[in-house]
Structure 1
């Protein structure tokens, strides 16, 4: 059972109380009833309910509660349902996200050995693959080396880590200097830190960039963790931080055949309001219509955000050589590159996007497989 949760069973009046550290609260009979473990009400393989939990009487009460042993309690409800619950299953319900590693904000001092992995070993060794997923979930990016440079290899890598997302750029796209490209990425100019496609809904969750050829001394890849940068921004300008977090901004992309427009906040948060990344692209956004004072505050905040993202204390720079591929959270870890000289030689990358949930699904599947092995052993 989770060491974070302790269950206290009261028989008179019947109740199930959960203690978590210094906090405790009584569990609602509705919450308990919905989490039935009875085989006639919960399909074993899919863990999907065989009844409509939304139809449970809102006035449902707990009629009796009796502890059977350390891990089990017998409960009876006012709708006539009786069942012996495994408290360890309830504890896992409360910890359903705890099996994933927490995000660990990083700065330029991050040991790059933590995020570098051998692609062939990832393919051959499930434990090593799980380690690469763990690193991605913690730091928001990994760099794979030893990736063959044949065309479309990026799709194999993408499918191994998740689900490739097709856009107007195709299933994958070519990144090399061409004068008539429909994005500045297809020039040899420097690119500041940015989120790809913030004008799209939803924004691509993960980006892969695979280097096929790099004969230049420039074109260094840059990465910065917005979670670490946002900690500093919030400390320096809490009011500006709140504006970026709550004010919708227009992002727009236009080329000869496409126009995409959406509105979203620059700071991305989860349902609890905690930052998970940013939507940041000075080439594609537009100041919102606010009062003059708020506009200036908003602008100073986004200006400082940009300064922090390029501060050497937060930004890592490295050459992405042929056969190397970086995979990163498109909103959390902002990417860019330094300029390069096409006269030195050719620089050719391929890119593609994945949905956000792919690595988490792969990680959960590997954990489930490991658990099954342990149970058999």
Structure 2
């Protein structure tokens, strides 16, 4: 609270609440903003903290007729007759229009210690799965995941389907037409007839992409768990779309803007599913900030635009594709048995180098979980452990 100062100013017609934040001018807090935050038991259920009234129906001309700060409480009398006490700490939290989670940190290959240490680099967000049963270690992992968009886990069990237990620690499972859990195996081409619905089930290399851009909503988080790997290839790759798109925006602001506003059609068609999603390549949140991409060139087509816009969009997509394949943005590693990668499927693109299925067994299992649950865990544990960034 020392970095923020609340002040009541008295005028002949009303009392006003002002707040002074660091490095900012004092800001007036409208009476209606305060009125909608009523803690009165007839207007809010204090057990669930859900409102018992519709605040959108409050009069627009409500005023504060009396205000008094006592300790951490703000005592208020409103022109519609309500008297209420509000916590200044809670008001301070509400002043910030964010999701109460760590800010994302965009990264490139050079930001990580791989393998030698260089000043300014950071260690990879790598955790022993066995420690994540403890809430303090789990909170550290959640913090890294929210900031960087991925985690590496080691010393996980290697029994088939054990991934489901790991995934449930982080969130709720998302089932798709590929099942609750899917297998990526090194199967000889002559035996691949049952795995013909997606190129991921072949031994070919896969360029950086996001999974399932044809879904609404897109599966938010993917986990890939290595059970066996005897092949020489099949390296996993990760790319941070936040870093790549920041470069594109600096180079080509118009092209970047096109990718945030021009919808493309993503589609997946098989004997069992016909899935279509129409959306821009670059995904933004409600505040207009970029949070990820829908990117899988093998699954989308250009929309019909006028010729200049078509060429401009194509140029932006070409440059974006080139940046996604630039080694300076790419993490490149081989998953071994008992290792797992978990990544934000909207933010972090993944790929794979080709491998020879005749060299030996390669068996990964994968699944999806909802995107919001790790953030829910972070807020809950931060409060319980009294930890903030």
TM-score > 0.5, shorter chain as reference? yes
2:150 counterpart (127, 141, 148):
141
Paired residue for 2:117? none
Report the CA distance between 1:44 and its aligned residue: 2.7
CA distance in 2, matches of 1:66, 1:253: 60
CA distance in 2, matches of 1:52, 1:238: 41
CA distance in 2, matches of 1:244, 1:37: 43
Report the CA distance between 1:2 and its aligned residue: 6.9
- For residues 1-377 of structure 1, what are the structure 2 equivalents within 5 Å? 1=1, 3=3, 5-12=4-11, 13-20=14-21, 21-69=23-71, 71-95=72-96, 97=98, 99-111=100-112, 113-123=123-133, 125-178=134-187, 179-180=192-193, 181=195, 182-371=197-386
Q: Deviations over 1:116-152 (max 9, x none)?
A: 10001112x2111111101100100001001111121
Report the CA distance between 1:40 and its aligned residue: 4.5
Q: Which runs of 5+ in 1 are unaligned?
A: none
CA distance in 2, matches of 1:23, 1:332: 35
Between stretches 166-175 and 21-30, larger displacement belongs to: 21-30
Q: Deviations over 1:32-73 (max 9, x none)?
A: 01112334433333222233323322322211223334x333
Backbone CA RMSD of aligned residues: 1.8
Between stretches 18-27 and 265-274, larger displacement belongs to: 18-27
Report the CA distance between 1:98 and its aligned residue: 6.5
CA distance in 2, matches of 1:96, 1:359: 19
Between stretches 99-108 and 47-56, larger displacement belongs to: 47-56
Paired residue for 2:116? none
Task: Kindly indicate whether the alpha-carbon contact (under 8 Å) linking 1:177 and 1:188 is maintained by their aligned counterparts in 2.
Answer: yes
Task: Kindly indicate whether the alpha-carbon contact (under 8 Å) linking 2:149 and 2:343 is maintained by their aligned counterparts in 1.
Answer: yes
Task: Kindly indicate whether the alpha-carbon contact (under 8 Å) linking 1:216 and 1:346 is maintained by their aligned counterparts in 2.
Answer: yes
Q: Secondary structure at the match of 1:256?
A: coil
Q: Secondary structure at the match of 1:234?
A: helix
Structure 2-normalised TM-score? 0.91
Change (3 A) 1:356 1:23: farther
CA distance in 1, matches of 2:99, 2:288: 18
Question: Number of residues paired by the alignment?
Answer: 370
Change (3 A) 1:370 1:39: farther
Q: Secondary structure at the match of 1:114?
A: coil
CA distance in 1, matches of 2:382, 2:98: 13
CA distance in 1, matches of 2:145, 2:63: 44
Task: Kindly indicate whether the alpha-carbon contact (under 8 Å) linking 2:186 and 2:360 is maintained by their aligned counterparts in 1.
Answer: no
Report the CA distance between 1:365 and its aligned residue: 1.6
Task: Kindly indicate whether the alpha-carbon contact (under 8 Å) linking 2:173 and 2:180 is maintained by their aligned counterparts in 1.
Answer: yes
CA distance in 2, matches of 1:365, 1:65: 32
Q: Secondary structure at the match of 1:283?
A: helix
Task: Kindly indicate whether the alpha-carbon contact (under 8 Å) linking 2:208 and 2:324 is maintained by their aligned counterparts in 1.
Answer: yes
Change (3 A) 1:250 1:96: closer
Change (3 A) 1:2 1:163: farther
Report the CA distance between 1:246 and its aligned residue: 0.5
